[in-house]
Structures are given as C-alpha cells and as structure tokens.
Structure 1
Amino acid sequence: LIIPYLNERPDLSGFDNATLFADALNHTPISDFTRTAFNDPLYILYSSGTTGAPKCIVHGIGGTMLQHIKEHRLHGNIKAGDNVFYFTTCGWMMWNWLVSALMMKATIVLYEGNPFYPGPERLWQIAETEKLTLFGTSAKYIDAVCNADYHPSQSVDLSALRSLLSTGSPLSSDGFDFVYQSIKDDVQLCSISGGTDIVSCFVLGSPSQPVYAGEIQTRGLGMAVDVLDDDGQSVRNKQGELCCSAPFPSMPVMFWNDADGHKYKAAYFEHFPGVWRHGDWATLNQRGGIIIHGRSDATLNPGGVRIGTAEIYRQVEAFPEIIEALVIGQNWDNDVRVILFVRMADGCELTDDLKAALKKAIRSGATPRHVPAVIVAVPDIPRTRSGKITELAVRDIIHGRAVKNTSALANAEALDYFKNIDELQN
C-alpha cells in the first residue's frame, strides 16, 4: 500500500501487487479476514537508543489490542464519534497508539511537519477546525508554546476539547499551570508514561480522579505497577525503580533475532529477578500519584545519594534564555559532581549572573544536591532520531569512553562539542 509524499504520484512498476492509498479507498470493503493467533506479530518497534543500542521489539496482535482498548476507552474516555489527535512522527510509538483509536470508532488526525510553522498557533488551529476531543503532544511542545507567549484559549475555540495528553518527558508543575491558565481551564490533563517497550503506558490518566500539578494521575488498570528500592522492596513517597511485578498483555512477544530470549530477559528481568524493571526513576505517593524523575540509569549520585535529572530540567527550562539543557554526573575527586550543559537562545550568552540565577533556581526548586558544580554552554545537544536527548552518550564522552551507538543519533556530530572541555578539567 503506497502513500504518496507531497501529492506526487509515484512509479509503481518496481513493486509487486502495489496499490496507491487513494485507489485503495475506492475498493470494495474487505469481507474475508485472516484469523491469527493472539501472539502473532503485529509491530516491530525500535527503542530510541538513549540507553544503548536500539532494541528490536516485536509486539503481538492480541496484547497490543487489549492494552490499547483499555487505555483509550477507560483511561482516555474516548468514545465513538470523538476526534483524536496526537502530534507524533510515524517512528514514535504514539503513532501506533493513535491508530488504535479507530477501534473506538473515533476519527484520528495525524499532522506531519513543524508544529510551529508558520507559528505556534498551527496545531491549535487544527484543534479548532477538526473539533478535537483529545489533543496529544509532548511536554517539550507545551513548554515551547508557553515560551512563545502564545495562549490558545485567547485565539481559538477549544470547546470540543475534553482531554490533553502529554508524554515524552515529565511535565512540570509550571506546564500544568500553563495548560489550565492558557489552554483550557476544564480540560483533563493527563501526563502519561510508558514506552516503546510496551507500546503503551504503565502510568497515565483517569477521567474519574483529580489532577494534581506535576503528577501522573494513576497506574494502568490491571497492571501491578510499583516503585521498588535497591533491595526490591515496595516504597511510598520515596524515589526508586518503576517496576511491574506481574505479567501484562502488551509485554513484547520477543526481540528480533533473539531465539533463546536472552536479550529480552536481560533487558527487563536481570535487576530484580522475575520483576519487570522499566528503567525509570520514580516516586509513588500515598494517594497513588506518580512522579517520574528521569531515566534510572541517568540518575546522579553526588555524595552517594541518587537524584533524578528531571528536577533540574524543570528549573532550567523555565529560563527563556535557554533552549535546551542536558545534565550528567562527572566522576570527580572520589565523588560525582553535577554538570549542566545548556544551549542558548539566539542573542543570549551564558553570563556569570545567569549561572548564579540558574543555581539559585535549582537550589530553591529542587535541593542543594541538584545544584550543578559546572555550567557550560554548547552549540548543540545530541539526541536520538526520535528526538530524545542522550545523557549517557555525553557521559561517556566526557569520561573518555567510546560511544558505541552513534548510528542511533540524529546529530552524532554534536558529541564533538563535549570533548576536552576546559571547565571540566578543573
């Protein structure tokens, strides 16, 4: 099935049994369906490569279908006739998630291109025109709309909108405030988190529970999601590993070219035997809300205390002078010190006054342990092809170690900016 790009009619002579998408729409509806087994393969998804070579993950038909129906109907409150949008590329699992909304008899809307072209109003105009009931995006996008000083509630009609979903990275309390003050004051804001590994969510929204700023509302229905300390014990109001202690429908069927399952088991079950360790550093509070603090393999250890990077990013990205930031821990003087790299906005410089303001904001908004010892401006920050910054690659570079998975990076040349930085030698 060939979908032309930019309305060009491609030459199909090199393909066997090829059909243009427009022609397929005119065909007689399919009446004969092939019966499949529950665990027959549906998708191969590739992890982003932030924590090593990308994993080649095979997902099954039945488990994916059950999980998505649950998330759409029960957690997302999607109904027949709704109009569902998620700003995603076809390479991100949220595209697969979006397509599944067809099972709810909803209309799905997909946008390809720069969400800020010709301006920050673009996606919100689509929300008005298409009468979107669910608008899905990322925390980075919400921050960008806020920094652009654009207020959708003042410009477009969002009366149809019931739910706004955010994922990709933790949504800050300031992001929650912006949504309710400048987008819509009665929308259900769902910060959600899961991943390519499960083509769904471990923690997400609930239409029947209150929303608290900076928190994910609840754990996925039917999933034994928990936070465990280093000893594998369940903890509340304390940071630990986000885990799932029992099987769930959308576990991968297998990894490709992993006949004995060794890579699959090593990826999720070696840290706590028999328990899925997802790799997120999180807190589960007494009322069941969840806060994600960042990737657990990217946590910092100053003074031997593990802290997440998300708290630093929340403070730094509130500064309009800074476009993007990256935090790593550098081994230093028999300890670990926090290093903050920033990419500056056009016309802005990293002055001593700005450094002092950043440290003050981090100290008051997080803790003294989160305050970076060194702040360095860089021209660019390496990210994966799916747009995620890659802290581990930078950590390897500044410690003189080779980066093995540069092919997973969209801008591998940016790693050169982190070599032999004078400020990190003193």
Structure 2
Amino acid sequence: MSVIKQGSLLLPAPAKDEWSSYQMGRFLQGVEQKTGRNFADYEEAWQWSVDNLEQFWAEVWNHFDIISHTPYTQVLADDTMPGAKWFPGATINYAEHIVRALNRRSNDVMVKSRSQTNGSVDWTGGRLLEEITRIQQGLIRNGIKRGDRVAGYLPNIPQTLAAYLATTAMGAIWCSIAPEMGPKSVLDRISQLEPALLIAIDGYRWGKRDLSREDDLARIREFLPATKTVLLPYLDENATAPAGAELYADFTRDQADIVIEPVPFDHPLTVLFSSGTTGKPKAIVHSHGGLLLEHFKAMGLHFGMNEADTAFWFTTTGWMVWTLSVSTLLVGAAIVLEDGDPNWPGLDGEWSQWSILAQTEATYLGTGAAYLAACAHAGLEPGKKWDLSRVREIQCSGSPLAADVAGWVYEAVNPNVLLAPTSGGTDICAAFIGASPLTAVHAGEMSCRPLGVSVESWDPEGQPIRGAAGELVATKPMPSMPVFFWGDENYERYRNSYFGAYEGVWRHGDWLIHTERNSWVITGRSDATLNRGGVRLGTAEFYAVLDGLKDVQDSMVLHFEDGGGMGKLVLLAEAAPGRDEQELEALIRSTLRKELSPRHVPDYVVFVPSIPRNPTGKRLEIPLKRLIQGAVTGEVIDLGIVLRPDDVNDTVQRVNRVLEAAG
C-alpha cells in the first residue's frame, strides 16, 4: 500500500458544463432556472440551500413527486430547535413511495438476498409487494393498528424488509433488533416501546456456526407477556412455534390489496436505538416525512441512484444504515441484502463484501471505514480478484477513513469509483458531512456538507473556526432530526443530548475540522478528546497514522487524567499475527513522534486481543476507559453491541496490570 498524504487529490470535481451528466447537477440547474441564480460551484449551491431552507425542501418535494393526501400549508412553520415543524397539514406515508416504485418494477428483480443460513434468494418487485400484503393481513388479524409498535428480532433478509414496509404502510411503528444481540440487549431496547407484536427467528448461521435463538426468545417473551409473537423458522425450516406463538407461514397465509394509511409528516415511522455505551439506549423516534425527504435527497441527488442501480449496503438490522438502505427502493434501485459473517472464510473469501458485490453486479457499496482499512492492511487487491468494474461509488462510515486507505481504494478496487466517506448518525439517520458527484475527493477528508444541512465547526464561544478542530454543530433544523425520544417526558433527555452546549443549536459531539480546501475532517468524539497538559489531542490524529501501519491491525488511544498534569497516555494495539511486539512498539513510538509530535507518543503501549468496536465499526473508547477505572460492565457498556465481547475483560485486565505496575 503506497503512502498517500492527507489532502491529496484523488478525484477532481467535474466542470460546471458537465453538471447535466449527474442527477444532482440537473436538479441544481432546474433551481437556477427557477430562481435566476447561477451557481459557480457546489459550495454556492449548498449556501443557497441552507439560506433558503423552505424553497430548497419544497424543490426536493416537487422533484421527487411526493404523494400527499392532503396539502401542506407551509414548508417550515417553526424553525426552533428542538421542535421544528415541517410541512404541517400534509398527510403522507413513507412506505407508499416504495410501493409506487415496486409497482413500476414489479417484474424486475428488486431484492438480491445472500444468506449463509439459507442461500441465495432473488425477489421481484411483485414478490416483495405480495409479501407486504400477506404480512399486513397477519397484522390486521392480530389487531395491529396505527400507532402500535411492531418489533423485529430478525436478520437482514427479504422478510424483514417486507415486515418493515408492511407495518409502516399501515401507520404502525417499526423497530429492528439484530439477532446477534442477547436477551438483555433486546429488552433494554424494545421493552421501552411495549410492542404489540414481535416477529423473530429461531436462529441463524454465522460462518460455520449454527446459533440458536430459541432460549433467548423464551427469555424475551417472559419479560414481554403482553406482546404477541410470530416465529419465522430460519435456521431450522421445520421449527415449531413455542406455546402461545404463531408460525410465520400461518401469519402470512392470506393475501389482499395493500393497505396505505396516510399520516401527518411527523408521525413516527421507526424507532432506532443509540448504542447504549454510556447508559440505557436512547429510543430515537424518526418520522415518515423526515426520513422520506432526507433519503430521497440522499439517494437521488447525493448518491445519484436510479433504476439502473443495484446497491449493496453491508449492515445488520439494528444499525441506522439498514433503515437508510431500505430507501434505495424509493428511487427504483434494487437492493442487495447479506446475512452472515463477511469475513468467512477470510477477508477475501466467498462471503466477503467484494465477492457479494461482484456476484450481484452491484453498482453501489455502503460499507464501514474499518472494513476498508482491514482489507488495505491485509494487502488485498479485490479489483483483480473480482470484476468490480460496475461499481461507481463506495460510501464508507462508522469511523474516519485514513488517507492511505482512501488511496488503496483507487489503486486496488476501482480507479474510476467515487469514494464518499460520510459522517452522520443514528440521531438523524442521515449525513452531516459527506460527498457529492460535483465535489472533488481528497484523501482522508470528506468532500462537502449535504444540501440543506447547515453544519459548521464552532469554538467554545460559538464562533465558526477553520483549520482547527471545533464542535460539529447544526445551526438550522433538518427534517430528519428526531421528533422525540420514546418515553422522554418534557423532551429533557433530548435537549440534554444535543442542545446543552449552545442554545438552540444542535451539538453532535464530534470534533470537526474545516480545511483550507473547503473539505472536512472528523478528528474524534469531543467527549473522548485527550488533554495532555492543557493541549487538546484528537484521537483521529492517532488513528490516521496508526491505520497506515500494516502490522497494526487495530488500535485505541486512552488518556487517564491526573488532576491537571500530563496524565497517562495508553495506546492499545492489536498486532498482526506473528509480529514481534517489542519491535512493533518501537515502530509505533517512532512513527507517532515523526508524523505527529513527541506529545503524541504514548506512555504505555498495551497489546490486546482486539479493540472493542460496535457493529458500525466505532471504537468504544469511553466505555472501555470507564471499565478500566472500575465501572460495572452492565452500567457503562452493553456487551451485546460489541463485535468481540469475549475479549473485553481480557483487555481491561491487561491495561490495569500496566497501570498498577506504573503506580
């Protein structure tokens, strides 16, 4: 892997006269014609979009032909945060727009499912519509109505997709929990909602292992006695329903016309849960209208998807990316679903993301930055092993993408791809910073602020800064900001989560740098910042360097304060198999000193079996630090969201031994 410096130009922006080749370009040219403006570049178009929020979102509404059963009276009736009121008067339904696209493509394959449990399945648009209607009939027989909650303890398979759309088309509220989560993790989340019905599987296959969920499901049902249960046999097609539950085949035995329930713009669509790394998971409620408009904008403009595309998003059903991925169908693009271990039998094996991408002839990949880094450090050349020539865009998220890894994508995957590092969150189920087809790609940086998203980097006094890390803030409302947290009376937890630092301004909790190139860099969580003797160090600075060392498979930096002094800086590292740890420690120290500064050199390097990350690839720095300091596991971290939970205790013990020896 060649050395690529941060900021190196990897893909130039198209000239203004090429804009008409892109859907976003055509959209903006239409705005120019209506307004008499002439945008010199994307940045001018972005500025117009945030200065004229009402006109911009009205244009998005019209461009994507939003189906409204009653008209809106105003685009933005109240721009106060929290509590902005979007499109009052309108009655819509998110799922109805996907139904419209499926009807248009009823004979085309719209879902390509690849499962280690039951193999490959392709569904046409008509087949998906049929499953939606069958599930709706089962919901109706069970008394499910508008506003009721339906939970899915389900993997990333077509039936889950159909259940989400069937539920929300009726005005009921959906939530997904990935089956790899244990009973406590599941109950910490869905018990807040008191679901009327739960659809669950009996088990699944992960690589070579068959994992039953029958005992876990029994424990979940014990604590939700009022919740009806539907069992979908998945691991064992002959599985029988437990007492009091209904088999999926019986639940879906009837078929009828699809039911669409028009609801207000801000009616709850789905509940997403925060990771639960710093307390009880927040039940974040997203609305029909908010996700409909944000996702149409993302899919149709920023990602440029249309009916010629097939999009593969690697995700579990408990991640916000799953909810985002379903919106691929809004614009008539097909979707790829994968369920199983993507590293089996290896990073470049038959179940790798690259293999699935090639098998399904996908044109778009949504993946994790950590996955790209792992492939780069392993020296893989997926563009040579598989035909990836159809892939036109790769979006990555979950953690910052190192410059060297960005360069590797162009060298080893596809030199013509648009690489789109993105940062958003479960909180908005959309992006704060990302990419567009009209902006250049620079290594290790994000290209732009999305249209209609008023993001800035602020200093502690609330002033925009450039060239240095500041707080990522949103100064104006977005349609997809949560309507509320479930069970959060008086919006107290909501306000404390986002609006405690700056009055009326969303503070997300990330350090953000606005570069001289007008690009953007996330340097870590602002609540995980290291302060060594009064000098603030962003964790992403370390990772940008360490991710370029091929023998460091993963890393995490922690700072233990000592009351105002330098404190203890501890670097956790996962070494490549067979690598001499003493030599690697010397290389780590010399590289950090050379590339960053002497202040970045850790006091201690601790080699650990793995770095704790959640399913999105985010390092769990704060929870691990609290565990090392003596906190109780269940109070600061939910092991159900850790990718390798069995390693956590070992890691804590290793760090504690080093710190105790140091005094």
TM-score by length of 1: 0.92
Which stretch shifts more, 299-308 or 174-183? 299-308
Match of 2:346 among 119, 139, 148: 119
Give, in angstroms, the shift of residue 130 of structure 1. 1.4
1:342 counterpart residue number: 573
Give, in angstroms, the shift of residue 305 of structure 1. 1.7
| Residues in 2 aligned to 1:237 and 1:377: alpha-carbon distance in whole angstroms | 34
1:5 counterpart residue number: 234
Aligned pair in 2 of structure 1 residues 247, 27: CA closer, same or farther (>3 Å)? same
1:232-277 Cα shifts (integer Å, max 9, x gaps): 1111111111110111100001111112100000000001111100
1:222 to 2:452 alignment? yes
| Residues in 2 aligned to 1:70 and 1:336: alpha-carbon distance in whole angstroms | 46
| Residues in 1 aligned to 2:357 and 2:446: alpha-carbon distance in whole angstroms | 24
1:299 to 2:529 alignment? yes
Match of 1:187 among 417, 420, 436: 417
**Aligned letter for 2:271?**
I
| Residues in 2 aligned to 1:64 and 1:233: alpha-carbon distance in whole angstroms | 30
1:119-144 Cα shifts (integer Å, max 9, x gaps): 33332222222111101111111111
Q: Between Structure 1 and Structure 2, whose CA radius of gyration is higher?
A: 2
Which stretch shifts more, 149-158 or 329-338? 329-338
> Is the contact made by 1:50 and 1:389 (CA closer than 8 Å) also made in structure 2?
no
- Please state whether the residue corresponding to 2:567 is helix, strand or coil: strand
2:636 counterpart residue number: 405
| Residues in 1 aligned to 2:366 and 2:555: alpha-carbon distance in whole angstroms | 23
1:133-144 → structure 2 map (5 Å cutoff): 133-144=363-374
Aligned pair in 2 of structure 1 residues 209, 244: CA closer, same or farther (>3 Å)? same
Which stretch shifts more, 398-407 or 42-51? 398-407
Which stretch shifts more, 182-191 or 108-117? 108-117
> Is the contact made by 1:91 and 1:386 (CA closer than 8 Å) also made in structure 2?
no
1:277 counterpart residue number: 507
1:15-30 → structure 2 map (5 Å cutoff): 19-20=248-249, 27-28=255-256, 30=258
| Residues in 2 aligned to 1:71 and 1:385: alpha-carbon distance in whole angstroms | 23
1:198-228 Cα shifts (integer Å, max 9, x gaps): 1111011101111111111111210110000
1:11-56 Cα shifts (integer Å, max 9, x gaps): 35767786449967x94552x4111111111111111134444222
| Residues in 1 aligned to 2:379 and 2:296: alpha-carbon distance in whole angstroms | 36
Match of 1:395 among 621, 625, 633: 625
1:256 counterpart residue number: 486
Aligned pair in 2 of structure 1 residues 303, 311: CA closer, same or farther (>3 Å)? same
| Residues in 1 aligned to 2:329 and 2:608: alpha-carbon distance in whole angstroms | 44
Give, in angstroms, the shift of residue 335 of structure 1. 2.9
Match of 1:239 among 463, 469, 473: 469
Match of 2:261 among 26, 34, 46: 34
Q: How many residues align?
A: 423
> Is the contact made by 1:78 and 1:104 (CA closer than 8 Å) also made in structure 2?
yes
Identical positions, percent: 37
1:213 counterpart residue number: 443
1:56 counterpart residue number: 283
Runs of 5+ unmatched residues, structure 1: none
TM-score by length of 2: 0.60
> Is the contact made by 1:4 and 1:20 (CA closer than 8 Å) also made in structure 2?
no
Aligned pair in 2 of structure 1 residues 343, 109: CA closer, same or farther (>3 Å)? same
- Please state whether the residue corresponding to 1:421 is helix, strand or coil: helix
1:47 counterpart residue number: 274
> Is the contact made by 1:397 and 1:419 (CA closer than 8 Å) also made in structure 2?
no
Aligned pair in 2 of structure 1 residues 94, 385: CA closer, same or farther (>3 Å)? closer
2:382 counterpart residue number: 152
Runs of 5+ unmatched residues, structure 2: 1-134, 136-198, 200-231
Aligned pair in 2 of structure 1 residues 4, 133: CA closer, same or farther (>3 Å)? farther
The alignment yields a C-alpha RMSD, in angstroms, of: 2.4
1:284-326 Cα shifts (integer Å, max 9, x gaps): 1244311011111001111212121112122223333333211
2:22 counterpart residue number: none
- Please state whether the residue corresponding to 2:541 is helix, strand or coil: helix
2:159 counterpart residue number: none
1:108 to 2:335 alignment? yes
| Residues in 2 aligned to 1:273 and 1:414: alpha-carbon distance in whole angstroms | 42
| Residues in 2 aligned to 1:315 and 1:52: alpha-carbon distance in whole angstroms | 31
Give, in angstroms, the shift of residue 382 of structure 1. 3.4
Higher RCO (Cα < 8 Å, 6 or more apart): 2
Which stretch shifts more, 290-299 or 140-149? 140-149
